[in-house]
């Protein structure tokens, strides 16, 4: 619970130090020319860039965290004993920043008046664009031989980025300043304090530029982490989780991503060819490949042995530190499939492992296992996951463009791994690009393992519908939650006694009659939390379950008053999801998750509305910082690790989101993503599937958007058939905030093609909890309620309400 002590707590200090120690593995060294890093001495230093005094800890919107403070790069260098020689330049930068900020707020006020709305909605969808920077003059270069330029970019929920100068592209003034720095200082470092990709092509042409470091956005301690890396206290071991193209137009989704014509209907013509799958399949040059990252030392990677036992392939690899400094290395494993009838990418990530801290000349033997069934592709014609006949080639290396063959697994005849059925309503209206159907390669130079045709048994999915008959009970007493906990009665007994109106209130977040809920701040019990479950029925011993935003830490009100007493609840700001994934260290992510779970326990939060795990389909998605990667395998394992960490703390849980295909923010509540079933299952659903199967999260949040014309929250195929029947998910499914409310209109143009999500269809689809709750959604459920056929579209039946209420109440058990 919140404390009345305003001083920094021991927990705050311990967790801040813990984040600082772990976050250094999230930093990616992109360039280290002339052996510039680590810095050799502590002394005078010239600091430039908009991120020196305005260091960004994370994105805006629900992913922000209200921390006690945020250490700036300037402050961190000062703490490390540096004397900063560019106070004058930084003062000019401050003036430009404040002018831009003032104009930004004025524009928000103007927009609010013209649209009869609030400045919040403008600022929510349009984060402030980075201002111009002053010129670097001769006097700025006099008193130091080392300079660091910190380039910051911000983005957030509700709006996407732009392929324009000051955002994805660098301003001309920024390029000029970086060039002047590189040409006038003996040692020069460019630091990227960004939550996503920026176009580095112009600055990489500057021959004198020494080093480029992707600091990312590491939370409130990020600037201190940066100094630890630059000074060599820790060796950077981060790897990119996205492909950095030479120009934005190289991304296959670039032609339509911000095209007004795709505002209502977004056609995923790239299909399965997202990120490195596209660049590697089509042979396009890149600036930095997926999985890339340098170190201050060198490593050798040696494949020692591979062995196939039934359907499990085991590989032993030896990694040795052949350089002069301690460090860690990541070994990545990709599979190239054989040619066949199903469209395939050249290669896909199927595993990775990170070494321990290796001192020079030290080596470590690592073992990695692969279930060969995970090599399967999805065949839409047969509605199944299938291993087509041929050789599946396993490659190992340190990026997608730096691999060598380990071995191959030969499949003599096709094997149906899992039989599904046609779902998700794809009408074949997307003209997908075609990259090929696998490859044929000479396997005579490496080991080929024969897969037994009996090694993999076909999984046959069964699809169950909710029965029409309502639950009943013979219990004569009024069943309470305590009765259920003691074993006297079952939860089904309790739910059977509830009236339809009580069931409806359970399936909607807590609200007061006639009250307007606050976006992302609807909890009464824990101020600043996003919402809470219903208090009704109040005579059954229910305790409201608190839901708090994430995923960069708990988003709570830092201080509040009750009955004349001031309370404090400062949470820890952790690295953004993309940065955490850049560590390629699942144990690290699990440790961060456990820390968050402990803070949830302290403040009385039941569910963390995180991790976000949508795919980085396009680098301009405004919310990419909240998501892990362009790759579903890496995404799924990172989300599973975070969930296992949080849920290791008793009674705490995660809410994986946004399910599914929430890959842009513009018109996010009313855009229909048109996606083939193969692309959905292999790219946009696969990460969720992995997280569900591995970590069993307590909850899942559906997305705002529609998929092939149906809102995610109303999609029975998605929620019941795939999530529950195929994957075995037993947790709670909730909506995103206001998706069923008329207030969703505040976030979207009025002339849209599709309407809002339906509260009644949520219940029919198996979406248990409508958040944050409101009288409008309650009235809609009342109006749709009937006891007849549960298969009737858009109807909230008694049994449907009972099933959803059961899962809401299970949170308390």
CA nearest to 184, candidates 135, 140, 133: 140
Residue 2: name the closest of 687, 557, 711, 789 by CA. Answer: 557
CA dist., res. 105 & res. 62, Å (int): 20
Distance CA 501, CA 364 (A): 62
- Residue 685, token pair as written in the block: 């659903």
Distance from C-alpha of 500 to C-alpha of 773, rounded to nearest angstrom:
17
Instruction: Give the span between the Cα atoms of 530 and 709, in whole angstroms.
Output: 28
DSSP string, 37-58: -S----SEEEEESTTTTS---S
Please tell me the distance from the alpha carbon of residue 270 to that of residue 272, in angstroms, as a whole number: 6
Burial tier of 813 (Cβ tally within 10 Å: 0-12, 13-18, 19+): exposed
How far is it, in rounded angstroms, from Cα 527 to Cα 9? 19
257 contacts: CB under 8 Å, gap ≥ 6: 160, 618, 620, 664
Report the alpha-carbon distance of residue 668 to residue 62 in Å, rounded: 15
Cα 632 from chain centroid? 11
Backbone φ and ψ for 644, nearest 5 degrees, come out as -60, -35
Q: Tokens 């260091």 — which residue?
A: 55
3-state percent helix, strand, coil for the chain, nearest multiple of 5: 30, 20, 50
Structure tokens of 478?
Answer: 């009024």
How big is the chain by its Cα radius of gyration, in Å? 27
Q: What is the separation of C-alpha 228 from the centre of its chain, rounded to a whole number of angstroms?
A: 26
Helix ranges (H only) for 185-316 are 201-204, 222-230, 276-282
Round to whole Å and give the CA distance between 751 and 746: 12
What gap in Å lies between CA 372 and CA 417, rounded to an integer?
10
Q: 396: helix, coil or strand? A: strand
Reduced to 3 states (helix: H, G, I; strand: E, B; else coil), residue 624 is helix
| Cβ neighbour number for residue 663 with a 10 Å cutoff | 29
Tokens 């033997």 — which residue?
A: 365
Q: Which two tokens stand for residue 504?
A: 């409806």
Report in angstroms the alpha-carbon separations of 774 from 505, 615, 668. 10, 31, 21
Q: Measured between alpha carbons, how far is 200 from 210 in angstroms, rounded to an integer? A: 14
Among the listed residues 701, 681, 682, the one whose alpha carbon sits nearest the alpha carbon of residue 639 = 701
Contact (Cβ atoms closer than 8 angstroms) between residue 655 and residue 597: no
- Of 399, 46, 36, nearest in space to 213 by CA: 36
H/E stretch holding 156: none
Cα-flanking dihedrals φ and ψ of residue 633, to 5°?
-65, -50
State whether residue 682 is helix, strand or coil. helix
Where does 82-162 have alpha helices with state H?
87-114, 119-125
User: Which one from 242, 736, 746, 768 is the annotated catalytic residue?
Assistant: 736
Distance CA 630, CA 653 (A): 25
**521 among known catalytic residues:** no
Report how far residue 598's alpha carbon sits from residue 580's, in angstroms, rounded to the nearest whole number: 19
Measured distance CA(813)–CA(630) in Å, rounded: 36
Tokens of 460: 């046959």
**Residues 99 and 150 sit within 8 Å (Cβ to Cβ):** no
Which residues are catalytic, by number?
Answer: 736
């Amino acid at each position: 619970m919140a404390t009345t002590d305003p001083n920094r707590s021991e927990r705050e200090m311990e967790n801040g130090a813990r984040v600082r120690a772990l976050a250094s593995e999230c930093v990616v060294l992109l360039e280290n020319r002339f052996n510039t890093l680590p810095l050799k001495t502590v002394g005078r230093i010239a600091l430039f860039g908009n991120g020196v005094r305005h260091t960004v800890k994370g994105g805006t919107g629900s992913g922000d965290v209200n921390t006690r403070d945020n250490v700036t790069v300037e402050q961190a260098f000062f703490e490390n004993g540096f004397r900063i020689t560019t106070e004058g330049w930084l003062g000019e930068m401050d003036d430009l920043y404040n002018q831009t900020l003032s104009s930004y707020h004025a524009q928000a006020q103007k927009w609010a008046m013209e649209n009869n709305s609030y400045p919040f909605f403008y600022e929510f969808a349009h984060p402030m664009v980075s201002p111009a920077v002053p010129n670097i003059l001769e006097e700025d270069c006099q008193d130091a031989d080392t300079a660091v330029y910190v380039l910051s970019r911000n983005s957030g929920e509700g709006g996407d980025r732009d392929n324009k100068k000051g955002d994805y592209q660098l301003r001309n003034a920024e390029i000029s300043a970086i060039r002047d720095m590189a040409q006038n200082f003996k040692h020069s470092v460019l630091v990227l304090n960004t939550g996503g990709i920026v176009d580095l092509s112009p600055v990489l042409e500057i021959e004198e530029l020494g080093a480029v470091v992707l600091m990312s956005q590491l939370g409130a301690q990020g600037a201190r982490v940066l100094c630890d890396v630059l000074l060599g206290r820790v060796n950077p071991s981060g790897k990119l989780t996205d492909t950095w193209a030479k120009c934005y137009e190289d991304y296959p989704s670039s032609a339509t991503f911000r095209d007004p014509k795709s505002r209502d209907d977004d056609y995923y013509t790239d299909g399965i060819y997202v990120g490195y799958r596209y660049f590697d399949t089509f042979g396009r040059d890149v600036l930095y490949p997926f999985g890339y990252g340098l170190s201050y030392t060198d490593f050798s990677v040696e494949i020692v042995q591979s062995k196939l036992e039934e359907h499990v392939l085991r590989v032993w690899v030896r990694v040795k530190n052949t350089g002069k400094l301690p460090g860690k290395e990541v070994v990545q494993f990709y599979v190239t499939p054989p040619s066949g009838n199903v469209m395939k990418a050249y290669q896909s990530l199927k595993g990775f492992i990170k070494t321990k801290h290796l001192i020079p000349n030290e080596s470590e033997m690592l073992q990695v296992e692969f279930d060969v069934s995970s090599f399967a592709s999805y065949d839409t014609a047969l509605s199944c996951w299938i291993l087509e006949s041929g050789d599946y080639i396993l490659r190992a290396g340190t990026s997608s463009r730096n691999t060598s063959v380990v071995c191959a697994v030969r499949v003599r005849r096709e094997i149906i791994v899992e039989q599904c059925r046609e779902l998700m309503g794809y009408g074949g209206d997307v003209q997908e690009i075609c990259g090929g159907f696998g490859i044929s390669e000479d396997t005579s130079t490496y080991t080929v393992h024969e897969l037994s045709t009996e090694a993999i048994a076909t999984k046959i999915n069964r699809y169950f519908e909710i029965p029409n008959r309502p639950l009943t009970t013979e219990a004569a007493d009024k069943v309470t939650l305590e009765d259920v906990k003691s074993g006297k009665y079952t939860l089904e007994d309790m739910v059977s006694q509830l009236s339809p109106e009580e069931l409806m209130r359970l399936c909607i977040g807590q609200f007061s009659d006639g009250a307007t809920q606050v976006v992302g701040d609807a909890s009464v019990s824990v101020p600043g939390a996003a919402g809470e479950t219903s208090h009704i029925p109040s005579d059954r011993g229910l305790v409201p379950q608190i839901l708090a935003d994430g995923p960069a830490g708990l988003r709570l009100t830092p201080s509040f008053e009750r009955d004349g007493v001031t309370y404090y609840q400062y949470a820890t700001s952790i690295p953004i999801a993309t940065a955490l994934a850049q560590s390629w260290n699942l144990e690290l992510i699990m440790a961060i998750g456990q820390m968050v779970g402990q803070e949830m326990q302290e403040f009385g939060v039941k569910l963390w509305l995180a991790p976000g795990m949508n795919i980085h389909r396009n680098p301009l998605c405004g919310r990419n910082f909240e998501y892990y990667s362009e790759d579903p395998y890496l995404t799924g394992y990172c989300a599973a690790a975070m969930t296992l960490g949080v849920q290791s703390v008793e009674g705490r849980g995660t809410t994986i989101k946004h399910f599914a295909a929430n890959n842009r923010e513009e018109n996010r509540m009313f855009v229909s993503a048109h996606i083939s079933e193969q692309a959905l299952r292999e790219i946009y659903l696969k990460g969720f599937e992995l997280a569900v199967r591995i970590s069993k999260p307590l909850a899942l949040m559906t997305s705002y958007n529609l998929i092939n014309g149906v809102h995610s929250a109303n999609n029975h195929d998605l929620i019941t058939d795939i999530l529950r029947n195929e994957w075995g998910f037993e947790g709670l499914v909730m909506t995103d905030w206001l998706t069923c409310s008329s207030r969703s209109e505040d976030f979207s143009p009025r002339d849209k093609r599709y309407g809002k999500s339906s509260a009644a269809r949520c219940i029919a689809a198996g979406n248990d909890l409508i958040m944050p709750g409101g009288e409008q959604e309650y009235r809609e459920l009342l109006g749709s309620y009937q006891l007849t056929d549960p298969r009737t579209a858009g109807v909230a039946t008694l049994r449907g309400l009972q099933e959803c209420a059961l899962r809401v109440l299970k949170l308390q058990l």
